[in-house]
Structure 1
Amino acid sequence: MRRIRFTRAGVAALLLIGSWTAAGTVPASAQGAPDSPAARSTDSAPASTALLDAMRRDFGLTRAEAADRLAAERRATDLAPEARRTAGPAYGGAWFDAGSEKLTVAVTRDAGAGTVEALRSAGATVRTVEHSARRLDAAKARIDRLDAPSGVSSWSVDPAGNTVVVNVVEGERSDNDVRAFVDKAREAGPVTVRTVPAPAVTFAAGTVGGDPYYTGNVRCSIGFSVHGGFVTAGHCGGVGQQVRGWDGSYIGNFQGSSFPGNDYAWVNVGSGWWTVPVVLGWGTVPDQLVRGSAEAPVGASICRSGSTTHWHCGRVLAKNETVNYSQGAVHQMTKTSVCAQGGDSGGSFISGDQAQGVTSGGWGNCSSGGETWFQPVNEILNRYGLTLHTA
Structure 2
Amino acid sequence: MSVLQIEAENPGLLAAMKRDLGVDATAASELLATQDAALATENSLRTALGESFGGAYFDAATRKLVVGVTDASKLGTVRATGATAKLVAQSAAQLDSAVARLNAREGSAPSTVTGWYADTVTNEIVVTAVPGTAEAAKSFAGSNVRVKEEAAPQTFVKGGDAYSVGSSRCSVGLTVRGGYVTAGHCDVLTGSGQPNNGTWGGSSFPGNDYAWVRTNAGVTLEPRVGNVTVRGATSAATGAQVCKAGSTTGWTCGTVGSKNQTVRYPQGTVTGLTASNVRCQPGDSGGGFITPAGQGQGVVSGGNTATCYFNPLGEILSVYGLSLLTG
TM-score, normalised with respect to structure 2: 0.92
Distance 1:269 1:336 in 2: 29
Task: Give yes or no for contact 2:225–2:289 (8 Å, CA) kept in 1.
Answer: no
RMSD over equivalenced CA pairs, Å: 2.0
Equivalent residue, structure 1, for 2:206 = 260
Q: CA deviation at 1:279?
A: 2.1
Equivalent residue, structure 1, for 2:27 = 65
Equivalent residue, structure 2, for 1:102 = 64
**SS of aligned partner of 1:197:** coil
Equivalent residue, structure 2, for 1:357 = 298
Equivalent residue, structure 2, for 1:325 = 265
Question: Are 2:156 and 1:202 aligned?
Answer: yes
Q: CA deviation at 1:289?
A: 1.2
Distance 1:46 1:85 in 2: 31
Question: Are 2:195 and 1:243 aligned?
Answer: yes
Counterparts of 1:190-229 in structure 2 under 5 Å? 190-205=144-159, 212-229=162-179
Task: Give yes or no for contact 1:169–1:195 (8 Å, CA) kept in 2.
Answer: yes
Q: What is the number of equivalent residue pairs in this alignment?
A: 317
Identical-residue share of aligned pairs (%): 43
Equivalent residue, structure 2, for 1:247 = none
Unaligned runs of 5+ in 2: none
Find the partner of 1:165 among 117, 123, 126: 126
Q: CA deviation at 1:172?
A: 3.0
**SS of aligned partner of 2:134:** coil
Distance 1:378 1:216 in 2: 29
Unaligned runs of 5+ in 1: 1-40, 206-210, 245-250, 281-286, 365-369
Find the partner of 1:339 among 261, 269, 279: 279
Distance 2:225 2:91 in 1: 37
Distance 1:46 1:299, change over 3 A: farther
Q: Which amino acid aligns with 1:167?
A: T
For the pair shown, the structure with the greater C-alpha radius of gyration is: 1
Q: CA deviation at 1:233?
A: 0.3
Deviations 1:198-229 (A, max 9, x none): 10001112xxxxx9200011100000110011
**SS of aligned partner of 1:383:** helix
Equivalent residue, structure 1, for 2:223 = 277
Distance 1:49 1:98, change over 3 A: farther
Q: CA deviation at 1:126?
A: 0.2
61-70 vs 324-333, which moves further: 61-70
Distance 2:265 2:99 in 1: 17
Q: Which amino acid aligns with 2:279?
A: C
TM-score, normalised with respect to structure 1: 0.77
Counterparts of 1:77-92 in structure 2 under 5 Å? 77-92=39-54
Q: CA deviation at 1:182?
A: 2.6
Distance 2:232 2:301 in 1: 21
